[in-house]
Homo-oligomer: A and B are copies of this chain.
């Protein structure tokens, strides 16, 4: 048996933010099922629930697991306050008492944050009593579906951008707290910075920004006519010449002239937020060079997505600002993951409805890789079985412990480590997997050791 490749080295996770109960981020039916289970004696059956996706959205070739650290935190914070319990007047006293004392005490295993996933990858497995596992469904899925949707889209943008940095600036186009998590997921996927200050504070992500059109519009001469020069001068005065000036409020060519006249050849950057960005980038680069501003960067924004970024591959763009498309998952705002009971008292169970078949039994997975590191296939096998033989291929274990007896395991990766991890994993994909075109998942998932 070839030994399973060791996990990468993990350092301790950062300190937890203050407690905030996640217990009501829950669907009512979970608590009524709990009540029924406490009443008929099934509540304490040993179960395993699995998070997986039946497909990748929009025929993408891979997905990115994101939100894992937030899920673990939400499970720790799944504690009912008295105020919350008082609102659950549809439950009987036995159930309320159960919830009053609820602390998850089971096991969670799953893919690392930043790991690639494919249809039917067993992304997270939650094991414990039916009672303690069933009520986690909604909050676990909410987090993984939202964060993975953003990270999966963001990773494709990062690939399209190549070495050029991407600033996340989509907070205004999504729910005010979804924005904070979206920023985190985009950073995980390789975005370099964010406009969002709460995300900067909470997750230590570098904050960035330029200026809005309102800033330029605010500045007028005494007769009311536009005074772009005054706007640029004030910005440079307060933020220094390394700032990025927004040059497209009126006429771009004049805007660039004014920018360099005000800031000099050492101006950090100019931003273009409208028009045909490919054409304009060339024009502005030529203009900047003719003015001697060889090092002034060109930042472009304006409804960019992975395809628009790819379309600018040959343009002299130095950085991208991406908003709407990344926070909305670029056409796939949810990852569509589900949370299914796969095992009860050690016996595999599975729904048999048409079109929604699933495979019973708790699972682990490994990726079989060539000696070059390129992944060949994903192998899913029963949780308690030995690692299957992968022949001449090297098995890389995908399933790692995340919670043991209710406690988050020590040494889980930091956000920056997960970011590096994803970068490394993307290199293991066959090269065609990084293409933006629609196709099948680039890695096939094979089930080994199941009777079904």
Interface set of A (CB-CB < 8 Å, partner B): 22, 24-33, 35-37, 39-40, 42, 45, 47, 49, 74, 84, 87-88, 90, 92, 130, 134, 137-139, 141-143, 145-146, 169, 171-182, 195-198, 200-201, 207-215, 217-220, 224, 230, 233-235, 237-239, 248-251, 273-275, 324, 327-329, 333-334, 336, 339-341, 344, 347, 349-356
Q: Are A234 and B29 in contact (CB under 8 A)?
A: no
A40 to B, closest residue via Cβ: B234
List the B side residues contacting A173 at CB < 8 Å. 141-142, 145, 334, 336
Determine the residue in chain B with the shortest Cβ distance to A350: B217
Across the two chains, which residue of chain B brings its CB closest to A208?
B28
A87–B171 CB distance below 8 A: no
On whether the beta carbons of B145 and A215 are closer than 8 Å, the reply is no
Closest B residue to A141 using CB positions: B172
How far apart sit A339 and B213, CA to CA, in the bound complex (Å)?
Answer: 10
What are some 6 contacts across the A-B interface (CB < 8 A)? Answer: A25-B180, A27-B209, A87-B201, A142-B175, A175-B182, A249-B351
CB contact under 8 A between A218 and B42, given known A35-B238, A87-B201: yes
A148 to B399: give the CA distance in the assembly, Å.
Answer: 40
- A171 touches which of B27, B214, B352 (Cβ 8 Å): B27
Instruction: Give the chain B neighbours of A217 by CB distance below 8 A.
Output: 341, 344, 349-351
B334 with A324: CB separation less than 8 A: yes
Contacting pair A146 B175 (CB below 8 A)? yes
Q: Is the CB of B142 within 8 A of A176?
A: yes
Q: Which residues of B contact A251 (CB under 8 A)?
A: 352
Q: How many copies does the complex hold?
A: 2
Contact in complex: B344, A218 (CB < 8 Å)? yes
B-chain residues with CB within 8 Å of residue A39 when the two chains form the complex:
234, 237-238
A29 vs B198: C-alpha distance when bound (angstroms): 13
Chain B residues lying within 8 Å of A207, measured Cβ to Cβ, are: 28, 90
Q: Assess the B274–A176 pair: CB atoms within 8 A.
A: no
Interface centre among A27, A30, A174, A182 (most CB of B within 10 A): A27
Other A-B contacts than A29-B195, A329-B333, 10 sampled, CB-CB below 8 A, are: A25-B176, A25-B180, A28-B195, A28-B200, A40-B234, A40-B237, A130-B214, A134-B212, A142-B172, A217-B341
- Across the two chains, which residue of chain B brings its CB closest to A133? B214
Given contacts A173-B336, A218-B130, A250-B352, is CB(A28)–CB(B197) below 8 Å? yes
Which residues of chain B have C-beta atoms less than 8 A from A49's C-beta?
Answer: 214
Q: Is the CB of B176 within 8 A of A273?
A: no
CA distance A25 to B224 in the complex (A): 33
Residues of B within 8 A of A230 (CB): 40
* A248-B353, A353-B249 known; A209 vs B142 contact (CB < 8 Å): no
Q: Which residues of B contact A350 (CB under 8 A)?
A: 217
Which of A169, A274, A334 lies at the interface centre, i.e. has the most chain B CB atoms within 10 A of its CB? A334
Identify A234's interface contact among B37, B45, B87, CB under 8 A: B37
A172 in complex: contacting residue of B137, B234, B341, B352, CB < 8 Å: B137
Contact of A197 among B27, B169, B213 (CB under 8 A): B27
Residue of B whose beta carbon sits closest to that of A246: B29
Once bound together, how far apart are the Cα atoms of A209 and B176, in whole Å? 27
Residue of B178, B275, B356 touching A274 (CB-CB under 8 A): B356
Bound-complex Cα distance A47 to B217 (A): 11
* CB-CB nearest in chain B for A95: B238
The 6 closest A-B pairs by CB, nearest first: A29-B209, A214-B341, A175-B178, A40-B234, A141-B172, A28-B209
Closest Cβ of chain B to A298, distance in Å, is 16
Q: Which residue of B lies closest to A248 (CB)?
A: B353
Is B169's CB under 8 angstroms from A36's CB? Answer: no
Q: Per a CB cutoff under 8 Å, which of B145, B179, B248, B351 touches A142? A: B179
B145, A172: Cβ atoms closer than 8 Å: yes
